[in-house]
Amino acid sequence: MTTTYTVRVEPLGAEVSCREDQTVLDACLREGVWLPHACTHGTCGTCKAIVLDGDIDLGSASPFALLDSEREEGCALLCVARPRGDLVVEGEVDIEDGVEVHPVRDHRGRVVTLEEVAPDVRRVVLDLTRPMPFNAGQYVQLVLPGGDTRPYSIANSPSDPRRIELHVRRHPGGAATDRWIFKDLAVGDEVALSGPYGTFSWRPARDKPVLLVGTGTGLAPLASILAQLGDTAAAAGWEHEVVLYHGVATKDELYDRERYERLQQELPWFSYRPAVSREPVNGRQGRVTDLLAKDFPRASGRVAYLCGSPRAVEDTMKVLMRARLFPRDILREGFFDSADRASGTHVVRSPLIRR
């Protein structure tokens, strides 16, 4: 029989039940108790918390994301840690105004679209058997045929919570992509998933001009944010400038280009700036970081949403900070994969841990 323990989350004082085989983060998110998290695979360090009382199994926390000294100080990565008795943990539980908490649930969906949108990039659209409310920018965990999971950002508007669109890039030798999504997965297949996850989401309370910067399939959550913004704008008269950069190496990787060029014609506040490093597009050529630095020598007063490979996100963040944008106005989603987990680069240093 599986034993269940009680986890108290401070400073909220909220109590949740957590099975011995369940991670503390999973138990909290399923009960609607929000805690910060990003990769949910023990790699990025975002979910770091202090264990005030009780025994915990630290699980597969990356030694780079949870240092030996932090383990000794009683810290844990709640996305991979499991209880060994009743627990009291302390995390950063602040939720920004306007951001809704949607409890995580298991779902099933049927593949209705499987489309090659760029070399090694597939659009996968799922129809869910029941709605999954989410915030624009959040992601789902797809369950692989062997039971392992991989996170993928949702690319469609939250206004249709029974539909989930994903943009997936193939990783050579990758378990989810090369050996399943790009090989065996077919229209009509049923897939299991859970969600919604993620701290990276549209912040309605930040009433400022917006920079959306995505590299590769990092476009996905930005597409969702833009779709939501389109709905909001139609309803409430949005007026701030929104600039979308899509960074890729070659022109044929600029998927959905026509859609954004059309939107640019239709929406007075929106502009689309492809950033192609190896060839010119519309008379411009360069890495997204270079074009962004050129266009915005001063970026203060804006809010930026960055998404893509952890390295690209980190480099873009540095450019924006040099342009005087405060880190609190730079929201980030790094697409950590197994290689990042093994190498331990791009770990987030939590302010909880004083050095």
**# chain residues binding ligand FES, by CB under 6 A:** 13
State the minimum distance, in angstroms, from the CB of residue 59 to ligand FES. 10
Q: How would you class 14 by CB atoms within 10 Å of its CB: exposed for 0-12, middle for 13-18, buried for 19 or more? A: middle
CA distance 98 to 3: 37
Looking at beta carbons only, is 59 or 286 nearer to ligand FES? 59
Using CB under 6 A, which of 27, 65, 212, 233 touches ligand FES?
65
**Of 36-44, 83-91, 153-161, 215-223, which part binds ligand FES (CB under 6 A)?**
36-44
Which of the choices ligand FAD, ligand FES, none does residue 333 contact, using the CB cut-off of 5 to 8 A by kind?
A: ligand FAD
Looking at beta carbons only, is 166 or 288 nearer to ligand FAD? 166
State the minimum distance, in angstroms, from the CB of residue 173 to ligand FAD. 4
Which of the choices ligand FAD, ligand FES, none does residue 132 contact, using the CB cut-off of 5 to 8 A by kind?
A: none
> Is residue 138 close enough to count as binding ligand FES by CB under 6 A?
no
Using CB under 6 A, which of 22, 40, 217, 289 touches ligand FES?
40
> Is residue 37 close enough to count as binding ligand FES by CB under 6 A?
yes
**Of 33-41, 86-94, 219-227, 228-236, which part binds ligand FES (CB under 6 A)?**
33-41
Please report, as ranges, the residues that interact with ligand FAD according to CB under 6 A: 38-39, 139, 150-153, 166-169, 171-178, 198, 217, 220, 333, 335-339, 342
> Is residue 77 close enough to count as binding ligand FES by CB under 6 A?
yes
Residue with tokens 């597409």: 223
CA distance 159 to 144: 27
Would you list the DSSP string of 275-322?
EESSS-BTTB---HHHHHHHH-S--TT-EEEEEESHHHHHHHHHHHHH
| Bridge partners, residue 111, by sequence | 126
> Is residue 299 close enough to count as binding ligand FES by CB under 6 A?
no
87 close to 7: Cβ distance less than 8 angstroms: yes
CA distance 83 to 3: 10
Q: C-alpha angle with apex 271: 214 to 276, nearest 5 degrees?
A: 45
Which of the choices ligand FAD, ligand FES, none does residue 46 contact, using the CB cut-off of 5 to 8 A by kind?
A: ligand FES
352 close to 92: Cβ distance less than 8 angstroms: yes
256 close to 244: Cβ distance less than 8 angstroms: no
DSSP strand pairing (4-10 vs 14-19): antiparallel
Looking at beta carbons only, is 51 or 154 nearer to ligand FAD? 154
Positions touching ligand FES (CB under 6 A) are: 37-40, 42-47, 65, 77, 79
